[in-house]
Amino acid sequence: MNLVELNRVAEAMVAPGRGILAADESSNTIKKRFDAIGVESTADNRRDYRELLFRSSEAMSKYISGVILYDETIRQNGKDGTPLVKLISDAGSIPGIKVDKGTKPLPFCPGEVITEGLDGLRERLVEYRGLGARFAKWRAVIDIGPGIPSYTAIKANAHALARYAALCQEEDIVPIVEPEVLMDGDHDIDRCYTVSEWVLKATFEELYYNRVALEGMVLKPNMAVAGKKCPQRASVEEVADKTVRLLRACVPAAVPGIAFLSGGQSDEEATAHLDAMNKIGGLPWKLTFSYGRALQAAPQKAWSGKTENVAAAQRAFAHRARMNGLAALGQWKADLEKKAA
């Protein structure tokens, strides 16, 4: 393991004012996104859409530090034959790869899942590194509901995350460690806080036991937010305060940075929450974004599968990337959204 190189890449992934584009939607997920805009999910359409993002020079060169790719995408070439990975690195961004194989029901734990994909991961990481990936991502999913999460689900998922992270570092690939507590239920923000604290503490315990170097990883957690069906909505300030308090309690200062998932928040909500946290200041790690939908919903809608809409889609992407880049510096203002609109 080359810890100096791992740390260099991890620091670049959370560089000030820049964040990570999650463009690693599985075939099923991207089909749902394309169905919503009336576009057929073919290999060419998926390539064309992602190519327009990676060729969005303003967004990519100024605000996007890295891109998480899907297995299909890391192997694709652009229309002119240039590998998509090269488009990303030429823009000054770092290519990464999603390596988990998705979730399956966890035995004897009704309503809970385990992320699979450790079998053969060592060999896949060698191949992905050869294809240009410098970091990887593995997502663990923890749901909140009556009687869940269980100790079994948290322990099993934390252990798998740590095993994955160790295999990545052995191959000189920076692991993004993503333990996501879902916001799908009717729980309030305090319940989310309690479960997230448990999940993060279990995850860092497993990382320690698996000898993962914290200086060579990036954490991708959820924010402390109420469930979507909860009638009590927390204010932007409350989300920021509680999330920062949670992270201070759980995340060692050796971790270079924390890149939040948006997890079903609206575009502006995800930006406002990140900005409010950075305005608190005095934090030992950098706080930035690793958004999928919160960066892509606007450009997808603007594009709608039409070549003549590519420039409009790139403008929409550049705007969202810039807003989040400002939020990562604590310099975002809501009226910047209105001006653009």
Return the amino acid letter for 58: E
Counting Cα atoms < 13 Å in the Cβ hemisphere of 140 gives 30
The C-alpha torsion from 26 through 20 and 299 to 239, rounded to 10°, is 100
- By CB neighbour count within 10 A (0-12 exposed, 13-18 middle, 19+ buried), where does 146 fall? exposed
DSSP string, 270-281: HHHHHHHHHHH-
Report d(CA 19, CA 305) in Å as an integer: 26
Token pair for residue 61?
Answer: 């060169």
Q: Are 141 and 157 in contact (CB under 8 A)?
A: yes
State how far the Cα of 84 lies from the Cα of 223, in Å rounded to an integer.
31
Catalytic residues: 178, 220
With beta carbons less than 8 A apart as the criterion, state whether 52 and 303 touch. Answer: yes
| Residue 306 CB coordination number (10 Å) | 12
Q: Which residue has the tokens 């967004």?
A: 59
Q: Are 221 and 258 in contact (CB under 8 A)?
A: yes
E strand or H helix that includes residue 4: helix 3-13
If one counts every other C-beta atom within 10 angstroms of the C-beta of residue 137, the result is 27
277-281: long-range contacts at Cβ-Cβ below 8 A with a sequence spacing of 24 or more?
Answer: 277/240, 277/243, 277/244, 278/327, 278/328, 278/329, 278/330, 279/240, 279/330, 280/240, 280/241, 280/244, 281/330
